Amino acid sequence: MMLGWCIGIAATLLALLIYLAYFFKFNWVKDMRNEGKMQKIDGVYVGSKSRKIGKLPPVYPNGWFVLLESSQLKRGQVKHVSALGENFAVFRTERGVVNVLDAYCPHLGANMGEGGRVRGECLECPFHSWTFRGDGFCDSIPYTEKVPHIARVKSWKCCEVNHLIFVWYHAESAEPDWQPQPHTYISSGAWRFQGRNEFLVSCHIQDVAENGADLAHLSAVHGPAMFFSDNVSWLARHSWTNAVWRPYCPYSSETEDETMNKTNTEATEVRVKLNGASSVEPISNGHVVDHVEGHATATTENVVGRREKYKASMQMRHSLVLLERFTLLGMRVSVEQIGPGYVELLIDTSFGSMYILQTVTPIEPLLQRVTHQIFSPALLAPYAKLIFLGECLMFERDIAIWTHKKFERQPTLVREDRAILAYRRWYSQFYSAHSPTYQMATKNLLW
């Protein structure tokens, strides 16, 4: 009888474990804003209204930004997404094509993302039932025979890549000169989706990606082991070594090229010595290495550089050090920053590789929606979930800094911080003459 009970409990636990490891998908959603709240820290009240913002760069860079994940928009569905100071009506036609239109109907201004209906390949406005095609032209008006040619709404360039729906934003309405590329393993479904997270973060968009070039924060912020305090680092700590940040090729004009070539070389040399470990695997200058499936394909920078100046990369190695003697969870992390709001992290572990996709979209001038999705081979699901849990917790440590910091335009840096300057120069390519400043963007939000 007793044995029967034990077997029953063990079988249930095993089933639960298998479910958690293979079928459960993370959905870690947190609003990390600190709006208008008074926080009591050690008896002192600190209001978020006292936060200084600093001299900010423009708030909406030019590039591709994720509005929705593919799974969030079914066929025949429309959603209103406000981001980048715009209101978008994102809809998927009956045939499955995604279109992005300005949400406001040119007739009398109804928001077509709120209550609009998809009719075949068109979006129907909820107010007087005008229908609009994906290219923005009005297709039909139910109470008139002649549809005027000027009946048209702005259509935004969009693409659906790696199960993400991107929109192209450019302050001068320039055409896109690059686009996020699909990953065979992700788009074919060979690697399975293992979970996602989503955070609302009160910071400038540039702060999020600056993390990749801020090599010194790795041991300070991400060194203490999860669930342990900094005081017991002898017991367990994360070690981040061989960290390198570098732009692919940032500028086009001669002078800027020279400057950045210099910075490039400098950035390539920027490896931090963290936790006493020394750098062992230098990345050869001028080569971009793709580690997928263990095939190291090198592409010469002066071939891809100009074309891929919107990319930057970061490499590092991670391990969990126990009792300063044993190392676990060794992995190599190759980060590719693709434009101002999209990042691909390839994690090579001893059991296999996995991808984390990060998206950063400005919802308001100083409010970012940040998401991560993780994809891995099916058999790696339990390990992928463990790594993703770590990623969620580590990312919250970054958020804790970002939600209180100000933007330091002229930071006091030491030599070892120089990748930060290279990063800022690289990121400045995403701003143009009419990129909205904080003042402009907040003025437009007043209703």
Rounded to a whole number of angstroms, the minimum distance from the CB of residue 86 to ligand FES is 18
Rounded to a whole number of angstroms, the minimum distance from the CB of residue 154 to ligand FES is 14
Q: Which residues bind Fe ion (CB under 5 A)?
A: 211, 398
Q: Report the 10 Å Cβ neighbour count for 227.
A: 7
C-beta closer to ligand FES: residue 141 or 289: 141
Q: Say which entry of ligand FES, Fe ion, none residue 130 contacts (CB below 5 to 8 A, set by partner kind).
A: ligand FES
CB environment 112-139: b (16+ within 10 A), e (fewer): bbeebbbbeebbbbeeeebbbbbebebb
Q: Provide the token pair at 120.
A: 């075949």
Contact characters 380-409, ligand FES, x per CB under 6 A: ------------------------------
- Residues 114 and 118: their CA atoms lie apart, in Å, by 12
- Residues 399 and 369: their CA atoms lie apart, in Å, by 12
Planar angle of CA 349, 354, 358, nearest 5 degrees: 125
C-beta closer to Fe ion: residue 124 or 398: 398
DSSP secondary-structure letter at 33? Answer: -
Rounded to a whole number of angstroms, the minimum distance from the CB of residue 112 to ligand FES is 7
List the alpha helices (DSSP H) in 23-149. Answer: none
Rounded to a whole number of angstroms, the minimum distance from the CB of residue 67 to ligand FES is 21
Decide: 62 and 157 in contact? Cβ < 8 Å. no
Closest of 440, 116, 429, 105 to residue 257, by C-alpha: 429
Q: Say which entry of ligand FES, Fe ion, none residue 110 contacts (CB below 5 to 8 A, set by partner kind).
A: ligand FES
- Residues 46 and 447: their CA atoms lie apart, in Å, by 29
Q: Report the 10 Å Cβ neighbour count for 233.
A: 17
Q: Say which entry of Fe ion, ligand FES, none residue 193 contacts (CB below 5 to 8 A, set by partner kind).
A: none
- Residues 370 and 340: their CA atoms lie apart, in Å, by 12
C-beta closer to ligand FES: residue 108 or 413: 108
C-beta closer to ligand FES: residue 104 or 248: 104
Q: Say which entry of Fe ion, ligand FES, none residue 107 contacts (CB below 5 to 8 A, set by partner kind).
A: ligand FES
Rounded to a whole number of angstroms, the minimum distance from the CB of residue 74 to ligand FES is 23
Decide: 85 and 60 in contact? Cβ < 8 Å. yes
C-beta closer to ligand FES: residue 148 or 276: 148
C-beta closer to ligand FES: residue 106 or 382: 106
Q: Say which entry of ligand FES, Fe ion, none residue 319 contacts (CB below 5 to 8 A, set by partner kind).
A: none
C-beta closer to ligand FES: residue 128 or 434: 128
- Residues 66 and 362: their CA atoms lie apart, in Å, by 10
Q: Say which entry of ligand FES, Fe ion, none residue 398 contacts (CB below 5 to 8 A, set by partner kind).
A: Fe ion
Decide: 246 and 281 in contact? Cβ < 8 Å. no
> Residues 198, 330, 341, 205: what is their CA dihedral angle, to the nearest 10 degrees?
80
Closest of 358, 344, 353, 357 to residue 376, by C-alpha: 353
Q: Say which entry of Fe ion, ligand FES, none residue 83 contacts (CB below 5 to 8 A, set by partner kind).
A: none
The Cβ-side half-sphere exposure at 47, using a 13 Å CA radius, reads 3
Rounded to a whole number of angstroms, the minimum distance from the CB of residue 413 to Fe ion is 17
Size of the site for ligand FES (CB under 6 A): 9
C-beta closer to ligand FES: residue 108 or 400: 108
Rounded to a whole number of angstroms, the minimum distance from the CB of residue 101 to ligand FES is 12
Counting contacts by CB under 6 A, is residue 147 touching ligand FES?
no
Q: Say which entry of ligand FES, Fe ion, none residue 391 contacts (CB below 5 to 8 A, set by partner kind).
A: none
Q: Say which entry of Fe ion, ligand FES, none residue 307 contacts (CB below 5 to 8 A, set by partner kind).
A: none
DSSP calls for 210-268: HHHH-TTHHHHHH-BPTTS-GGGTTTEEEEEEEEEEEES----SHHHHHHHHHHHHHHH
C-beta closer to Fe ion: residue 165 or 312: 312
> Please, which of residues 106-135 interact with ligand FES by CB under 6 A?
107-110, 125, 127-128, 130
The one segment of 105-113, 275-283, 302-310, 430-438 that binds ligand FES by CB under 6 A: 105-113
C-beta closer to ligand FES: residue 110 or 389: 110
Q: For residue 317, give the amino acid letter.
A: R
- The set of residues, in sequence order, having a beta carbon less than 8 Å from that of 258 and lying 6+ positions away, is none
C-beta closer to Fe ion: residue 211 or 371: 211
- Residues 370 and 401: their CA atoms lie apart, in Å, by 15
Q: Which of 66, 90, 100, 105 binds ligand FES (CB under 6 A)?
A: 105
Which residues are near ligand FES by CB under 6 A? 105, 107-110, 125, 127-128, 130
